Amino acid sequence: MDIGPPSTGLPRRPEAAGPTPPAEALEKPPPERPAAPARPAEPPREEAARHAPRRGGERRRRLRLAGLAALALLLLAAGGAWLHRLLTHVVVDDARIAADMIGLSSRVPGWVREVRVIAGDRAAAGEVVVRLDDREAALALQELEARLAGIAARRREIEARLAMVEALTASREAAERARLETARAALPAAEAERAFAEAEFRRAQELAAGGSGTRQRLDQTRAALEAAHHRVLGARAEIGAAEAELAAAGAARAEREVLRRQLEALGPEERELAARRDRAALDLADRAIAMPVDGIVNRVFVDAGEYVAPGQRILLLHDPARVRVEANVKETQIRHFSPGTRVRVRVDAWPGRRFEGVVERMAGAATSEFALLPSPNPSGNFTKIAQRLPVRIALDPPPEPGLLSPGMMVVVETPRRE
């Protein structure tokens, strides 16, 4: 088969239109053209080097396509997971860590002498964090204690006098009573002697009248009778004196009653001073402001040297062991957050950790009801907006104290419950 001259790769010129040549001319072979010089054969290494960039580009293209396919599959899986989570869970991002903020205030006025903490410090319960000037309070307490000591000394003195008066009165009464008994016992003897003396005097008179008695005997009996009469009078006087002394000893009991009344009067005065002393001690103790709980100081509002008034806020603190989550849930999702519902909490500050919680309670009104500026609708134009209700969530199990701080933003998630 006639292959013909080798192609040079150049475009052929179009043949001019004309009459058909004769058959002899057609059968005559065309004049031979000089053959193109043959290209020298390329070495194998140069040919491989020339085709290497093409193969590298194809490999990179395939890897790029595989990466794009994997990325598309990953995005598709992530989108499917997100869509599944969106359809099967309720997610609330309007939530934050909350705690009971405790404000420490001063009960008494005074100058701040010392502030021992700053914001961020931890302090134990009972630890003194702020001290006020307590010099006047200490002096007032010492004055009242001295007055109470004086009343106690006065009480002891009156009690000693009362005991002495009681002892003297008792002994005197006993002595006068014995004297009275002695005088009363001596009176009958004196009266008997007087009766005997009267009888002797009458016999002496009869004998003297009959001439048998002597004048001397009559005088002796008369003297004996007068002496017996005086002894009776003396016994009676002794009885009267003993009764008078006994009455005087009884009158000493009135002094004893006076001393008892003085002791009773010291009671109210002592109680009044004791109450004032306790008030002064309380005033002195209030000038050392201590932590009510183990907590973290959030803010300090005073510095040393400032003057504070009663009720003025000094510190703001919270208990790190009693933090919770407060979420504002839309009213269209509140049915999924009934008390006792388990929820999952994600804290923005700790992205790699998950916390579990339990819904404790729900508020009885939406947050808009507590707005400082209510938005009435007098014009009649109304735009319906989903309201939010506060939900309180307890972390269970509780986190480590100090790990979560009030104000941290969190995301609350719970399965849908239709």
Taking the C-alpha atoms of residue 230 and residue 190, their distance in angstroms, rounded to an integer, is 9
Looking at 285, 309, 334, which one is the last position of a domain? 285
142 and 203 share one domain: yes
- The amino acid occupying position 323 is V
Helix H or strand E encompassing 10: none
259 and 367 share one domain: no
167 and 281 share one domain: yes
311 and 255 share one domain: no
Residue 6 lies in a domain: no
Taking the C-alpha atoms of residue 367 and residue 380, their distance in angstroms, rounded to an integer, is 22
Number of domains in the chain: 2
Residue with tokens 């021992």: 116
What is the extent of the structural domain holding 183? 135-285
Residue 373: φ, ψ to 5°: -115, 95
At residue 27, the pLDDT reads 45
What would the mean pLDDT of 357-376 be, rounded to a whole number?
80
**Range with top average pLDDT, 87-101, 131-145, 186-200:** 131-145
Whether the per-residue pLDDT at 76 is higher than 50: the answer is yes
At residue 55, the pLDDT reads 65
At residue 19, the pLDDT reads 44
Task: Provide the whole-model pTM.
Answer: 0.57
Q: Residue 302's domain is classified under what CATH number?
A: 2.40.30.170
Taking the C-alpha atoms of residue 252 and residue 247, their distance in angstroms, rounded to an integer, is 9
Residue 319 lies in a domain: yes
Helix H or strand E encompassing 353: strand 350-362
146, 149, 150, 151 alpha-carbon torsion, rounded to 10°: 130
191 and 260 share one domain: yes
The tokens of 87 are what? 């359809």
The predicted-structure confidence for 84-128, as pLDDT tens digits, reads as follows 776 778 889 999 999 999 999 999 999 999 999 999 999 999 999
Looking at 285, 319, 336, which one is the last position of a domain? 285
Better pLDDT: 176 or 21: 176
Residues 346/418, Cβ–Cβ less than 8 Å? no
